[in-house]
Structure 1
Amino acid sequence: MADLILHHFLISPFSEKVRLVLGYKQLAWKSVIVPGTMPKPDVVALTGGYRKTPFMQIGADIYCDSTLICEVLEQVQPEPTLYPRGTKGLAQTLAQWADSTLFWSVLAPPRNTGYMLAGMGDDAAAQFAQDRDAMKGAMLRLRAADAAAACKAYLLRLSGMLVTQPFLLGEAPCIADFSVYHSLWFSHQFTPLVAEMLDQSPKIICWMQRMALLGHGQMTPIDAAQAIAAAASAEPLTLGQGHLSDNIFQDEHGIPLGSRVTITAESFGPESTEGILVAATRSHFSLRRHDDRVGVVHVHFPRIGYVLNQVT
């Protein structure tokens, strides 16, 4: 199998989610640090437009969004599982809530941007803020006071799930643990109000310490040029025989395979990826696209959270 290459940056919450999954599964992986703001020419060469962090590359296959990345890692290394038998649906539903509702709630109160952007000059810090505002677009944002009230309620509920067991749904971590953890990990460092709430929640703090002990696996740093060369020297995996085994066409849009389409996130991150639709299954979309630097790649997205449109 080609190397697992994670394109990420250090303070990205969703990157920490994937790094911990790599550690839990004790996988070896290559690390490419991407810019925190646009322009990202090396990222766009691989993804065709998707610029959110992280994404994972395996040869000439590019997997976007942490939800899909985790499903791919489960195929690569099934044990220990992220989706325990009997609670898989519950774990996935809780994970989706954590990656969306919980995430935006704990990030809404004022953040310590001085510490978060330490080392950046004033111009770079302003560019970072403008970049994130552009990614949010017209997305509805919680007011800080409303978010703080929601955080208190959510943390109380999560704490209650840890009264009799070490992880959210049992004796071992599952996808829900990784999805809840990453935004709390970020907020504990950079959102003082949420950090104070967490410090008053000893069960959650102990759980976070257990999660952190999973580590990040065996990481080897490489640069973007090496990742691009790896894609250029590979061919995309045969659909249905790679890391996404679900290949049954599920048509919800009246758009046939082989059509030129765009895929765009429903909310955060308005940039689209354009290509030829080669898979539309119950769980994911796949596009074939060509770039002069990387050749032919398949770019994969989870179905939930993304919008498919035909190019006319």
Structure 2
Amino acid sequence: MSELILHHYPSSPFAEKVRLILGYKQLAWKSVFIPMIMPKPDFTALTGGYRKTPVLQIGADIYCDTALICEVLEQLAPTPSIAPEKVKAAAPIVAQWADSALFTASMAWNFQPAGVAQVFAGAPAEGVQAFVADRAAMRAGAPRMASADAGATYKIYLQRIASLLGGQDFLFGAQPCVADFAAYHPLWFTQERTPPLAGILDATPDVKSWMARMKAIGHGIPDPCSAEEALQAAHRSTPASVPGEVFQDEHGIALGSQVAIAADHFGLEPSEGELVAATRTRYTLRRNDERAGTVHVHFPRVGFTLKKVSP
């Protein structure tokens, strides 16, 4: 197996989700830091346009979206499992809620003025303005939830997490699963990146104890890697064979067509290429880049749109 290369930046909540899973599975991985905002020329040379953080690279295979990254890591290193059989149905549902509703409320709470001041302490004003403009563009003009509404919602969600714990060490029992890693990362940002706002966690002490257990998992065995080294690794590699699952056509678009795949909300920049696989759960694009060579870029179906483009 080629080396695992994670493209991320330290304060990314979704990257923390994956870093902890790498730690839980005690995997060695290469760490490539990417910019927080666009442009990201080295990164998009691999993805073809997709810009959200993180992305997992294995040779010339590029995996987008943490839901898919979780599946890939589970397949590569099934022990310890983040998807044990007894919770295989329920845990992904909780994870999807955490990655969407919980994340949205928590980040709206975290990025009120006191949180912004903490996150960008010492940064020049133009840097803060560039970040705000970048994230507004990612939302495609949709307004951010007001902090008062976000706080009320966040408190309700924290109580739900406490109820799920119900005296257990983790959400579904004695060991963490994908739901724990998904629910933890938005709360991690509150606790670690915006501590002036972390008092919202105090009403749920069981949640804080669970967070301490999650934090103790650590990040495994990271090793620094440059963006250029990652591009070279892709260029000298050959993409893995496409999934052998049956082609599932929901769009009337044949394999071999030129298509664009984009997130259905937040970070809508599309990736274009040749559709070489469309299984029940994921899409795969083949694309060529002068720096990255021939790569396969993989996306989950859930949360993404597929459209045919003119050649």
Scaled by the length of structure 1, what TM-score is found?
A: 0.95
Alignment partners' CA distance in 1, 2:3 and 2:195: 38
What residue in structure 1 maps to residue 69 of structure 2?
69
What residue in structure 1 maps to residue 100 of structure 2?
100
What residue in structure 1 maps to residue 307 of structure 2?
309
Aligned 8 A contact 2:115 2:197 in 1? no
C-alpha displacement of 1:192? 5.8
Q: Secondary structure at the match of 1:257?
A: coil
1:24-43 to 2 correspondences below 5 Å: 24-43=24-43
Q: Secondary structure at the match of 2:239?
A: coil
Alignment partners' CA distance in 2, 1:48 and 1:88: 32
What residue in structure 2 maps to residue 90 of structure 1?
90
Q: What is the number of residues matched between the two proteins?
A: 307
Deviating more after overlay: 142-151 vs 221-230: 142-151
C-alpha displacement of 1:200? 2.5
Aligned 8 A contact 2:258 2:308 in 1? yes
Alignment partners' CA distance in 1, 2:180 and 2:191: 16
User: In structure 2, what residue type is equivalent to 1:248?
Assistant: V
Q: Specify whether residues 128 and 22 from structure 1 end up closer, same or farther in structure 2 by C-alpha distance, changes over 3 A only.
A: same
User: In structure 2, what residue type is equivalent to 1:155?
Assistant: L
What residue in structure 2 maps to residue 243 of structure 1?
none
What residue in structure 2 maps to residue 112 of structure 1?
115
Deviating more after overlay: 194-203 vs 78-87: 194-203
Q: CA offsets, 1:12-49, max 9 Å, x none?
A: 00000000000000000000000111111001100000
Aligned equivalent of 2:126, options 116, 123, 134: 123
Deviating more after overlay: 90-99 vs 246-255: 246-255
What residue in structure 1 maps to residue 230 of structure 2?
227
Q: Secondary structure at the match of 1:296?
A: strand
Aligned 8 A contact 1:82 1:174 in 2? yes
Alignment partners' CA distance in 2, 1:225 and 1:300: 21
Q: CA offsets, 1:137-179, max 9 Å, x none?
A: 1335322222211111111111122223110011100000000
Q: Secondary structure at the match of 1:100?
A: helix
What residue in structure 2 maps to residue 81 of structure 1?
81
Alignment partners' CA distance in 2, 1:279 and 1:138: 32
**Does residue 264 of structure 2 align to residue 261 of structure 1?**
no
Alignment partners' CA distance in 2, 1:144 and 1:164: 30
Alignment partners' CA distance in 2, 1:121 and 1:149: 32
Q: CA offsets, 1:188-217, max 9 Å, x none?
A: 234568511212211001000000111100
**Does residue 4 of structure 2 align to residue 4 of structure 1?**
yes
Q: Specify whether residues 107 and 71 from structure 1 end up closer, same or farther in structure 2 by C-alpha distance, changes over 3 A only.
A: same
Alignment partners' CA distance in 1, 2:79 and 2:276: 29
Alignment partners' CA distance in 1, 2:194 and 2:148: 13
Q: Secondary structure at the match of 2:306?
A: strand
Q: Percent identity?
A: 53
Alignment partners' CA distance in 1, 2:165 and 2:303: 29
Alignment partners' CA distance in 2, 1:86 and 1:137: 39
Q: Secondary structure at the match of 2:85?
A: coil
Alignment partners' CA distance in 2, 1:150 and 1:125: 26
User: In structure 1, what residue type is equivalent to 2:80?
Assistant: P
User: In structure 2, what residue type is equivalent to 1:73?
Assistant: L
Alignment partners' CA distance in 1, 2:235 and 2:118: 39
Q: Specify whether residues 140 and 93 from structure 1 end up closer, same or farther in structure 2 by C-alpha distance, changes over 3 A only.
A: farther
Alignment partners' CA distance in 2, 1:119 and 1:2: 39
Scaled by the length of structure 2, what TM-score is found?
A: 0.96
Alignment partners' CA distance in 1, 2:252 and 2:122: 50
What residue in structure 2 maps to residue 201 of structure 1?
204
Alignment partners' CA distance in 1, 2:171 and 2:197: 19
Alignment partners' CA distance in 2, 1:205 and 1:22: 22
C-alpha displacement of 1:86? 2.0
Aligned equivalent of 2:163, options 160, 164, 167: 160
Query: Unpaired segments of 5 or more residues in structure 2?
Result: none
C-alpha displacement of 1:247? 2.5
